[in-house]
Structure 1
Amino acid sequence: MTAQTETTRARHGGVAALRAIGWLSQACGLVASLMILASVLITCQMIFIRYVLGGSTIWQTEAVIYLMVGATMLGLPYVQYLRGHVNVDLVPLALPMAARRVLAAVVLCLSLAVLGVMFFHGFELWLMAWERGWRSETVWGVKLWIPYLALPVGFGLFILQLAADLAGVVLGVDRPFGVPDADAGEDA
């Protein structure tokens, strides 16, 4: 793996669509972090109610679970934007830049195909919950289409960021796998 001194981000090369998708991914990261903060605060409130006041809690555990799942799903495009997903760059480092670009395009296309299937099934689950009026089997009885919406939205935005990454590699404005070209002396 390469040592990086600064955060690697997706490059847009002045292409307005890629820049807009990058901003959207960053907004997703902000929303995901706020959801995590909300879940921490709700957990603290739940602990206070249960153990200090001796009361019972109804909605807190379920809300924290849904917020954390939602934050995970909405955080996907932001993590991809920052190149934070697992990346083993042994093979790309051994390849010349032209072959590295082809490999990146193949990997991104395969990733888009797999995520397309996940998006489809996530959308299907959300739609069933919406049409059938599913509710959780708890006292709170949340309408399940609300937390299930995180699946198609998260996967859809992740697909959008991956498509932007593919366009960046194809247009030559972004480095494949975020790895610099050693021959050109490019900085990480």
Structure 2
Amino acid sequence: MSLYISAVSALSRVLGVVAMVLTGAAAVVVCHMVFIRYFLNGSTIWQTEFVTYALVAATFLGSPYVLLHKGHVNVDLLQLRAAPPVRRAMQTVAGLFGIAFCALLAWSGWTYFHEAWAYNWTTDSVWRIPLWIPLLPLPLGIGLLVLQYIAEIMKIYGDAS
């Protein structure tokens, strides 16, 4: 059990670093785009699309890291007032709902990614990158979020014993 929790937590930390790098890269590209447009009076082709895809990827890939550090929005007023067994039950039910929603989202994201891969879809912009590249973070990040939810539920009952 602790091996699973450690492995998933390590993967979540790695994806957290990847999300941080993507966010930093998006900030640098925005600065580049501003410089090109306003100081050199040039046009930009790939920058807006890169920033959009990088920030969306950072959101999906960073979500397991945020869950690992209990950073997701959580209304815990009732949990804080409940007795420990009731609190564990409430956290478990919330985790199971999270797993169900994220598993469905990861599955539909995987289907969309696979279609883009199989049919060689590209973006409609001038840059025309293969669409599977910006679609991959959805099933990858949300799939790991499911694994992180499972680890969080395991932690609840590991602490109880």
Identity, in percent, stands at 39
CA-atom RMSD in angstroms: 1.5
- TM-score using structure 2 length: 0.95
Kindly report structure 1 stretches of 4+ aligned residues shifted beyond 6 Å.
Answer: none
How many angstroms does 1:173 deviate by? 6.2
Give the Cα separation in 2 of the matches to 1:24 and 1:123.
19
2:89 to 90, 102, 108: 102
Which of 104-113 and 62-71 deviates more?
104-113
Give the Cα separation in 2 of the matches to 1:170 and 1:42.
45
Give the Cα separation in 1 of the matches to 2:72 and 2:49.
28
Alignment of 1:23-62 (within 5 A): 23-62=10-49
Give the Cα separation in 1 of the matches to 2:95 and 2:137.
22
1:72 to 36, 39, 59: 59
Give the Cα separation in 2 of the matches to 1:34 and 1:173.
37
> Structure 2 vs 1, CA of residues 173 and 82 (structure 1 numbering), >3 Å: closer, same or farther?
farther
Give the Cα separation in 1 of the matches to 2:159 and 2:51.
42
1:157 to 135, 138, 144: 144
> Structure 2 vs 1, CA of residues 58 and 173 (structure 1 numbering), >3 Å: closer, same or farther?
farther
How many angstroms does 1:27 deviate by? 1.2
Which residue of structure 2 lines up, in the alignment, with residue 185 of structure 1? none
Instruction: Answer with 1 or 2: which has the greater Rg.
Output: 1
How many angstroms does 1:44 deviate by? 0.7
Give the Cα separation in 1 of the matches to 2:85 and 2:38.
61
1:93-131, Cα deviation, whole Å (9 max, x unpaired): 121101111111111111101111111111111011111
Greater fraction of residues in helix: 2
- TM-score using structure 1 length: 0.82
Q: How many residues align?
A: 161
1:125 to 106, 112, 121: 112
